[in-house]
Homo-oligomer: A and B are copies of this chain.
Amino acid sequence: MKRVKLTVAYDGTRYSGWQVQQNAVTIEGVLNKALSKLTGEEIAVIGASRTDAGVHAMGNVAVFDTESTIPGERFLYVLNQKMPEDIVIVASEEVPLTWHPRHQDTLKTYEYRILNAKLPDPTRRLYTNFVSFDLDIDLMRKGAAYLVGEHDFAGFCSVKTNAKTTVRTITDLQVLQKGDEIIIRVTGNGFLYNMVRIIAGVLIRVGRRYYPPEKVLALLEGRERTGEAVTAPPQGLCLMEIQYGK
């Protein structure tokens, strides 16, 4: 028996998110089916991050246990031959049987991409959130600064969460301009359900001067989700990287 770690990139457009569901196509489901067929075993991967429907990833992580003789680093090649073209295995390796993708210190980095232009771009509609209001990036940065550090993020979390604690640490949060896109790049030790999309939704309102930057602090200190903490749509979000042992 060995444990294999996969790093997985995907276009989430076509999927009902990561997590296996009955009567819906999910990334986890596609991986389980392909791995089970490949090994002849009944494989159920364990994923690091259960991304929502429509959310993308450049580096989600999953593990599975197998008796297969295929070396860990070879799964990259054999599995990619069985993947649809919107899922790509970008790395594979054997890890200790005790290695778990969620039960340890990690730093996760997400990017939320906003297309800030007068008109939508049909070729970027699936990978950005189109915002036609002129966004003030300096105000967004001012608002973002309140979120860096260890905080109770209950005000930036879906009420559907079942997390034991709503305290998380954001180690870095940048608002970057790249041509006509504004990218919110956030790194932290963990994110609550919908947390990045709520951060993006609130910062967009700050950027269009609908909220002052100080509103971010007020929502944080309120420690309770309100209707003012709006959730930005999924397609702008991409899980970029998970760093382990940090």
Contacts and interface: CB of A to CB of B under 8 A. Distances in A.
Interface of A: 9-11, 56, 58, 85-88, 90, 119-123, 125-127, 238
A9 B121 contact: yes
A88 B119 contact: yes
A55 B78 CA distance: 31
Best-surrounded residue of A86, A119, A122 (most CB of chain B within 10 A):
A122
Nearest to A238: B123
A125 B87 CA distance: 10
Contacts of A123: 9, 11, 56, 58, 126-127, 238
Nearest to A8: B122
Contacts of A119: 9, 88, 90
Contacts of A11: 122-123, 125
A76 to B, nearest CB: 9
Contacts of A88: 119-122
